[in-house]
Amino acid sequence: MNTGIGSLSPREVPAADMDKMLDFRTVHEAKAGARWQALFEYHWPAYEQWYLSEGERERPGYLACYNALRRHMPELLDTYRALCDLAGGGDLAARFLSLYQPPPYITGCSQAVLANPASTVLARNYDYPPELCEGTILYTHWNERRVIAMSDCLWGVLDGMNDRGLAVSLAFGGRKAVGVGFGAPIILRYLLEFCDSVPEAAEVLARVPTHMAYNITVADAAGRYVTAMIGPDRRASIRRVPVATNHQKKIEWYAHALASETLIRERQLSILVDDEATTEERLIAAFSAPPLFRHDYRRGLGTVYTAVYRPRTGRAEFHWPGMTLDLSFDDFPEERITVRYGTRGLHSG
């Protein structure tokens, strides 16, 4: 097992205090076709460079990728084949799209569930280098469930929700372990495509292998929630915990914990969700202020966006300072928002 992750971001982040810009796009395409193909063609050069960053021999061959999907997530195979065809049918693209043993990458992130008899909300901040974020909010109906999700690796999921009332979000688990398994974004895609409830999702999270440590928070329309602490070197720990940041039970990677302020953020969220007076509005507002909202874009640990999912009503919100996208399965306009990130703050327009 390789445990040699040595940096705090997936690749070298420029030290210059230059503003960074990211376009967020909402894309509605029920069945994968020309729009997904255009996304692939646009992002593939950067993804190809990343996928080969450790050398092609470090990535598994096509048959290993295909067989891993067939063994662990067979229901995804039809969608996977369709996307591979749209991507041109090439060997390298097919291996990449499997998300089986991709290069390791590290994020920040804070996420929390607030559930009561009247409503359930899953809110999260995604902390990552903006220049490495895809920025696509994708509405699909590839299988039996409609899905709205922030996309990663072109069909993986950073966070999202399906029309059966299941919402999911991922955060890096704060451990250096790297092993044999899938990148978490494709596991989250699998959850949203084929699970309706937290118990169903928990069963998947307990059995599908992951290549790195992640904290996956899941909530459903019935008010149930769990956080699964998964990794390649130990059994998944799945508990009824509404809060997750970037460590698993205890600190194991002290440099990352200090840089990401994982304990401070966890404490802030725990105080909020444990307080009976905390409303949805108060929780969501907390994600827009320190310590949850972070401006450390220079080290790749700044907040790129805030996502809010309401599984009972099927509504998804994406927040930036001065800008909110309010989306649903019945109201999903296609638009583009440009966000500027820099040392002087974050601006959208």
The reported pTM is 0.94
Domain 21-348 homologous superfamily, CATH: Penicillin V Acylase; Chain A (3.60.60.10)
User: In this structure, what is the dihedral angle of CA atoms 122, 123, 129, 133, given to the nearest 10 degrees?
Assistant: 50
312 closest CA partner among 150, 166, 202, 139: 166
- Look at residue 70 in the predicted model and tell me its pLDDT: 98
Q: Are 319 and 227 in contact (CB under 8 A)?
A: no
Using 50 as the pLDDT threshold, list the residues of the chain that sit under it. Answer: 1-17
pLDDT digits (tens, 9 = 90+) for 307-323: 999 999 999 999 999 89
The predicted pLDDT at position 347 comes to: 62
What's the chain's average pLDDT?
Answer: 93
What confidence tens digit (pLDDT) does each residue in 289-307 have? Answer: 999 999 989 888 899 999 9
Helical spans, DSSP H, in 197-340: 198-207, 254-260, 262-274, 280-286
Taking only the tens place, the pLDDT of each residue in 123-157 is: 999 999 999 999 999 999 999 999 999 999 999 99
Domain ranges in the chain are 21-348
Q: How far is CA 104 from CA 3, 36, 54, 210, in A?
A: 10, 25, 10, 11
